[in-house]
Amino acid sequence: MKIDHKSSYKDFGEQFTKDKKIDGYWGGIELLKDIVYPFKLSNIKNKKIMEVGTGSGRILKNLIKFSPKHITGVEPSNAIKVAKKNIGLNKVTFLNIKGEDINFNEKFDFIFSLGVIHHIPQYEIVLKNISKSLKKNGKFIIWVYGKEGNEIYLIIFNNLRRLTMLFPDFILRILCHLLNLFTYLYEFLCIFFPLPMKNYFLKVFKTFSFEKRSYVIFDQLNPSYSKYFKKNELIDVLKKNGFKKIKINHRHGYSWTAIAEKKCRPR
């Protein structure tokens, strides 16, 4: 059976329409700081920023608190309606377009895309558009899944997802609740043994409510396309598509956060 990866954003739209709440640690500033580290969010004060892949608005909600001059939120799915309700139309300019259709020229000081690029098959087009949209010396903050540190996880979940992405959402949600119960045992064992994703479980995942833990599991098993980047692969693709001076952090040993500066073309 041929899978239409291009429909992934629609899957996420349906997911965010159901999971509307952006509360708790999962929706808070501390987690955002952890995701973007070592980038300092205070840098966006009085700056023009954009987020690519707004979803239900949990990132934008927190970026607003650092007083940017203006925010643009890009979201191709119906989740944009949820984001508008969660944030309000007076604070953000929302664009219901795909990342492949972004068409700005040197408009933004900072652009964020956190947990989004790895779900877009045509991600290089999106990266080029983001680079073009940044002002001279503007910076792009990206967070993506990493291949290093996830080798065992990928063997299990990549094969499992071949089935679960075909499940009706209500069946998948039941499965995620059941798997969630197992994560509490896994989290306990991480205290004593060097298990895969130990740092993530003990420093991040344990802080989520049961509801958000199930949501995160659903987020892993639902999309038809998920790419896990090697460190050098991420650096190379950023350089290829208009970025330089790339600072990269192996977040909790399982994912990559990169801060990349726009590469200006010689005149």
pLDDT in tens, 103-143: 999 999 999 999 999 999 999 999 999 999 999 999 999 99
- Decide: 122 and 100 in contact? Cβ < 8 Å: yes
Residues of the chain whose pLDDT is less than 70? Answer: 1-14, 16, 265-267
Cα–Cα nearest to 15, from 94, 75, 98: 75
Token representation of residue 196: 């895969």
**Bridge partners for 257 per DSSP:** 143, 249
The pLDDT score that the predictor gives to residue 10 is 61
β-sheet with 243-251: strand ranges across: 93-95, 70-74, 48-52, 108-114, 134-145, 255-262, 243-251
Token representation of residue 36: 């973007």
- Domain range list for the chain: 5-147+227-262, 151-221
Tell whether domain 5-147+227-262 is in CATH 3.40.50.150.
yes
Cα–Cα nearest to 92, from 126, 116, 111, 69: 69
DSSP state letters, 128-157: HHHHHHEEEEEEEEEEEEBSTT-HHHHHHH
Residue 191 has a CB neighbour count (10 Å cut-off) of 10
